[in-house]
Chain A
C-alpha cells in the first residue's frame, strides 16, 4: 500500500496527500506522523488546572496496581486519578457545549436582527416552523405578524442562555419518562451558559472532588447542549433559512472547477454561507468574475457550514475536516472563507504555498497570517460581496501547479425530522408509523446515529465507512451528521442506489419503497438535535416503548476528535442512547471513572458509553445493544400477522 493510502481511504484525499508531498507542503497528516499524542494527557491523567502542576497520574503500564501504589497516584493537592480524569472529561463537555451554545447564541442574535428588520437580505423562510415554535413556547400567535412573533421567540431563546433557574424550555419536548428521569437524577439543566460556567468553577483547583458528582454535572451540561444550544441553533436556523428537504448534491474535491473562481466556505455557522450562496448567483458578481478571466463562480462548502448550505441549497461539498488543507493543495482555490470551529491553523501555512487566501470573518476566530473581513448580519450582502470580490480578485494569481482530483460523488441530503415525517407517508399521511412498523416487523433492525469528526490518528474516513457499512448490512438504518456524513457521502452510501448494493435485504426493501438511501444525512453537528427529535417522534408514534432508552437506537462517534463530539456523545447517553466512541478514550487513566461511564450510567440513565476503536467490533457492540432493546420490547421474534374482525375494530381507540 502506498503511504498516502494508509492515511485515507478517500481517493481524492490520497491524490492530494501525494501532491502535498511532492509540493513539499506539510499537512495534518504529516504533523500527526511527526508528533504522537501525549500518552498521559490522552487518557485524562494530566491535571494542569493550577500552578502547582501539571501533575501526572498515569496508570502503571502492563501490571496490576497495588492499593498502596494507587494511594500514591495523586496530584500535589491530593486529587485522585478519578477526580483528575473526571475533571478533564467534564471540561471537554464544557468546551463542546460552549461551542454549540455560542454558535446558537450567534444564530439567535442574527434571528432577532432579522425579526427586527435590522438585517436586510434575510427573511423568515419557514413560517410553519415559526408558528410551531410559538406554540411550543406558549407565545401568542393571534393576528400578530411573523416579525412580532419572531421577536418574542428570539428574545425567549436568548433568555435560555442566561437562564438561572427552572429548566430549559426544550426539555418539554423529550418523552415524559425521560424528563422525569432527568429531574430524578438532578441533571435537568437550568440554563445554557450557567452549566458551562459551573463546570469551569467546579473543575477549578479545590472545588468538586467527587468524580460522580462531577460527571453528573457533565451530563447536565451536555443536555443543555443537545436539548438547549444545539436545538435552538437547529430550530432557529430552520425558521430563518428554511427547514431542509431532500436535495440532490455532490461531494468531494472534484466539485472544484478548473476554469471558475473557486471559493470554499468552511466552519459551522450558516449566516454568512447563506448570503454567499445568494451573492455568487448575482449576475454582477458573475460578470466581475468573467472580467478577471474566469468562466464563473463556484461556491463549495466544507465541514458543517457545507452541510448547512448543501441541505438548503444543494451547494456542493468539497470535503470534510481532514480535507481542508488538501483543498488548498489543489492549487485551484481562490479563497477559503472561515467562521468558527474546526478550522486548522495549519490552513494559513498551507495557503502560503499557493495563491489561496484564507479569509477569517468572525471576531471570535482570527488566525495569524489570514485576511480578516469581519462579517456582520446587519450588513450581510455588502460583506459577502466584499469577500467574494476578494476571491475573484485572487483568480488571476492562480498558478500553474493545479490539480483537481476527478473524484466527486452524488448524494441526497436534507433529511430533517419534518421531512422524514413527510417522506414516510406524504402530505396526507405523514407520520413515523412506517419507520416504527418496519422496526417492529424486523425489516429494520434498529437505528444508529453515527456522527462526529475526522481524526488524523486514524485512517481518514475508514472507521466511519467500515462501521456504517457493517451496520447497514445488518439492516440498521444510519442517521448521520457532520464529517461522518461526508465520509459516507463520498463513498456513495447516501444515494438510493446504495440500498441494494450495501444494505441488508430488509433495510434495502424499506429504502427502496420510500426512495431513500440507507444512510441519511441530517445535517451539521448542531443538527444532532434532529436525531433527538426524531428519536422522540419514534417514541411518540408508539409501539417501541415510552422512552428514548426503550428504542433500538444507538449512537457512535468512530473518528471523534473535538470536544463537541464528547458533549454530543454525552447528551446521547444522557438521553438514553448507548453510544460507542473510537480512536481513544479520554478517561482510561481511571478505571473507576471509566467503569462509571461504561456501566453504572446504564442504571442511572438507561444509556451508557463504550469505547471500541475497531469499527467492526464497535458495530458488533451496537448490534448487540439493538438486539437487547428489541428483546426487551418483545420484537425479537417474527410476529404473526393480525387479521382484524369487527370485535377487534371496536377495540380500536379513536384517532
Chain B
C-alpha cells in the first residue's frame, strides 16, 4: 500500500525537519548567523539544497530560508478515509527530508569537526567517512561516467548477521557497484558488520561508510547531485534536469535492511525523486506501478540471497560480469584494496626482486590459446612471506593483431590483476610490484591464476584483435632478467614510435564519445598530439578501441581539408562534431584555449584557464584542491565549463598533453604557462623539462609559478617579471 508508505514518509519528514529546526536554533544561539557552514572541500555547498533549490548555504543564517522551504513542502498527514492524493506530497516531503538531512549533517561538521574522518579510508578509531569531497567525487565520478561503476547501492541499517552483510556487500562489489552505508538497525550497522566479517572498507574498495545516523543517507543523494553538476553540466536550481539526469544515468537504489522507520521511509521517498527505487528485505508495502522511477518504486520482502539481483533488475541495470576462473572475488571494486606488510604471503618486484610485464605478438602456430605456464616455483612451493622474481609474458597471435596493440594489452595487466580480491599490483613494465595476501593464498589463489584471469578478461575485452593468447610466468631470477633485457629494447622502440607521430602527417583522428553517457553533447577528438582530456585515451588507444568495437564510442574521422592550421581546425572534424554533438556545436579548435576551444567534460585531468593580467595560461590538476589564480578551484572550474561546453578562455586537457608538442600551440604553447600546482609540476617534471628544452627555454620550469608563490594573478606577476617569463613579452593573449 502506497498510502502506508506515504503516511509514514510524511511523518518521518516531520520528525527530521523538527530535528533540523531544533539543531539550527541551538547552533544559531551558539555561533550566530554568520558562522560558516558546509561540507569539507566542495564547491557545491550543501549539494542537494544547492542543486535542487539553487540556494548556496555558506553560513548558518542561510539555512533559515531552506528550513522555511522544508516547512512549506510538508503536506498535512494522510487522512485515513477518503484521503487526498498522497504520492506527490510524499515525494515533496522526501525531498524536504534531504534538505533537513543536509542541515543536520552540516551542523554536525560544525559541532563535532572530527566526527567524520574526511578522507577516503577509515582510521583506526573512526570508520565514518562523511560526505565525499570534490577530489573523491571526481576520481570516483569518472567511474560512473566510463561505466566502471554503473551506480551505487545506498544501504540503510544492518543485515541479520555479519556473514549475510558480507555476502551482500561482496555481491554488490562484484557487480561493480558502490555501496554507500548509513543508519542502524537493532543497534547494528552494516559498515560495522563488514569490518566484523573481515572486509576492508573505504572508498578504494567501494564500501563507503558514510555515517552512523540515518541523516547520512543524504551524502548518497548529494553524491548523485554532484555527478549531474560536474559531469552533466546541470546548473544550480535546475532541479528537474538534475533529477531526470540521475534517473537516466546514475543507476542507484536504496536498500534498507531491517525495520523501516518513518525516517527511513522519508529518505526512500526522497530517493524516488531521483529515480532511485527501494528494495527492502522486510515485508513493507510495495509500490509497483512505474513512472517516477524507471520501473518499480518499492519492492519488499526480498530474501538476502536474491536482494542484489532483484535490486539490479528493478533499477533496470545491465551488469555483465565475465566469469573469471579464480578462487577469489573479482571486479573493479577490489582494485583499491590494500595489502599491508604482514598481510602478504608473496611479494614480487617493488625493488626487492626483479619484476617485468611484457606483451608480445607471435605467429599463430606458436601460441596455444589458454595455455598458462609457470616457469619456476609456484606460490605453493614457497613459505609464507616469501619474495620471488617475476616476469609476466603475454603472447598473443591473430590475424588482426598489430604491434601497436601490444602496449594496450600490456597496460591492462595492472588493473586486471588488481581486480582480484587479495591481490595488489602497482607500476608497469619493469617497475611492476605485486603482493598476494595470505587470505588469497588460503583460498587457493596461485600465480597460475594471474595467467588465467588475464586470459579470460583480455579475451573478453579485446577478443576482436587477437585470436589466441598464452601466458608465461617466470619466477627464476636469470630468466626474469633475460626477459627484462628483451622487453626494455622493445619499450624503447615503442616509445619512439608513438612520440614520432605528428598531427600533420596523420589523416585520421579518432572521436571519443564515451562520456556521452553523462555529458550528452560532449565530443572529444583525439589526434596523435592531443591525447584525450581524461588522460586515458591516446590516439593509439582509440584506434585499438575502434578495431575492437567498430560501432563503439571511438570512431575514425578523416580530418579533411584544413581550415586553420595554427589553431587546429579541420572540415571533416567539424562535420563530425556537428553530428555527434547532436547539432549543439559546429566547430572547434584543437590547439587553442582562446578561440573556440574543444569541449570539456567533467572527466578532464586538468583545466587550463587564461590569466589576462599575466598574459598567460594556468593549468590545474584534479587532485589539487586549493585556490588558483583564475579565482576558482578545480571543482568550480569543472562545474562551470564541464558538461560538454566549449568555453573560450578555458579548456580541459590531460596531464600528458601538457608536454605534447601541440599543447595550446595556437596561443603560444607551453611558453604561455605561467602557473600550475607544485604537485603537477613534480609529477610531470621529467617530460616537462625535456619539452622546455625543445622549445628553447630550458629553465622554463623554474619560471612557472605555483601555489607557494601565490594563488592570485597579482601575487604571481612580480615573480614572473623577476624570472623574465617568456609569456610576458608575447603578443597579447586575448588578441
Binding site for B on A (CB under 8 A): 246-248, 410-412, 422-430, 433-435, 437-438, 441, 443, 495-497, 509-510, 512-516, 641-650, 652-655
What are 19 pairs between A and B in contact, CB < 8 Å?
A425-B91, A426-B89, A428-B91, A428-B240, A428-B243, A428-B273, A429-B243, A434-B290, A437-B291, A495-B82, A512-B1, A513-B288, A514-B2, A641-B295, A646-B150, A650-B514, A655-B241, A655-B245, A655-B248
Q: A422-B88, A426-B89, A655-B248 are in contact. Are A433 and B2 (CB under 8 A)?
A: no
> Is B316 interfacial (CB 8 A cutoff)?
yes
A426 touches B82 (CB 8 A): no
The 10 nearest A-B residue pairs measured at CB: A434-B291, A426-B91, A646-B147, A654-B520, A643-B318, A515-B86, A649-B517, A515-B85, A645-B318, A426-B88
A428 touches B92 (CB 8 A): yes
- Inter-chain contacts of B82 with A (CB < 8 A): 248, 410-412, 495-497
Q: A646-B147, A650-B553, A654-B520 are in contact. Are A438 and B85 (CB under 8 A)?
A: no
A512 touches B2 (CB 8 A): yes
B292 touches A650 (CB 8 A): no
> Is B95 interfacial (CB 8 A cutoff)?
yes
B520 touches A515 (CB 8 A): no
Q: A424-B88, A428-B52, A428-B273 are in contact. Are A650 and B517 (CB under 8 A)?
A: yes
Q: CA–CA, A609 to B311, complex, Å?
A: 47
| Nearest opposing residue in chain B for A438, CB measure | B289
Q: A426-B95, A643-B313, A644-B316 are in contact. Are A496 and B83 (CB under 8 A)?
A: yes
Q: CA–CA, A248 to B82, complex, Å?
A: 8
B83 touches A515 (CB 8 A): yes
> Is B84 interfacial (CB 8 A cutoff)?
yes
Other A-B contacts than A434-B289, A513-B2, A649-B517, 18 sampled, CB-CB below 8 A, are A411-B82, A412-B82, A412-B84, A426-B88, A426-B273, A427-B91, A427-B95, A428-B52, A428-B92, A428-B243, A438-B289, A496-B85, A515-B78, A643-B317, A644-B318, A646-B147, A648-B318, A652-B248
Q: Mark B516-551, 1 if CB is under 8 A from A, else 0.
A: 111011000000000000000000000000000000
| Nearest opposing residue in chain A for B515, CB measure | A650
- Inter-chain contacts of B290 with A (CB < 8 A): 434, 437-438, 441
Q: CA–CA, A641 to B240, complex, Å?
A: 25
Chain B interface category by residue count? 35 or more
Q: CA–CA, A516 to B553, complex, Å?
A: 45
- Inter-chain contacts of B39 with A (CB < 8 A): none
Q: A643-B316, A649-B517, A650-B513 are in contact. Are A655 and B244 (CB under 8 A)?
A: yes
Q: Mark B78-110, 1 if CB is under 8 A from A, else 0.
A: 110111111111111001000000000000000
> Is B3 interfacial (CB 8 A cutoff)?
yes
- Inter-chain contacts of A435 with B (CB < 8 A): 291
Q: CA–CA, A12 to B150, complex, Å?
A: 61
A429 touches B520 (CB 8 A): no
Which of A438, A642, A655 has the most chain B CB within a 10 Å cutoff? A655
Binding site for A on B (CB under 8 A): 1-3, 6, 52, 73, 78-79, 81-92, 95, 146-147, 150, 239-241, 243-245, 248-249, 251, 273, 287-292, 295, 297, 312-313, 316-320, 513-514, 516-518, 520-521, 552-553, 582
A to B contact number (C-beta, < 8 Å) = 150
B245 touches A644 (CB 8 A): no
- Inter-chain contacts of A412 with B (CB < 8 A): 82, 84-85
Distance of A641 from chain B, by nearest CB (Å): 7
Q: A426-B273, A428-B239, A643-B313 are in contact. Are A650 and B91 (CB under 8 A)?
A: no
- Inter-chain contacts of A641 with B (CB < 8 A): 295, 313, 316
Contact of B520 among A424, A441, A510, A653 (CB under 8 A): A653
Distance of A79 from chain B, by nearest CB (Å): 53
A434 touches B83 (CB 8 A): no
- Inter-chain contacts of A425 with B (CB < 8 A): 88, 91, 291-292
Q: CA–CA, A411 to B295, complex, Å?
A: 30
Q: A423-B87, A433-B291, A650-B553 are in contact. Are A642 and B316 (CB under 8 A)?
A: yes
Which of A424, A425, A646 has the most chain B CB within a 10 Å cutoff? A646
Q: CA–CA, A641 to B243, complex, Å?
A: 22
B248 touches A410 (CB 8 A): no
A515 touches B317 (CB 8 A): no
Q: CA–CA, A434 to B90, complex, Å?
A: 16
B84 touches A515 (CB 8 A): yes
- Inter-chain contacts of A643 with B (CB < 8 A): 312-313, 316-318
- Inter-chain contacts of A437 with B (CB < 8 A): 290-291
| Nearest opposing residue in chain B for A425, CB measure | B292
B318 touches A426 (CB 8 A): no
Q: CA–CA, A69 to B730, complex, Å?
A: 102
- Inter-chain contacts of B249 with A (CB < 8 A): 649, 652
Which of A247, A512, A653 has the most chain B CB within a 10 Å cutoff? A512
| Nearest opposing residue in chain B for A434, CB measure | B291
| Nearest opposing residue in chain B for A250, CB measure | B82
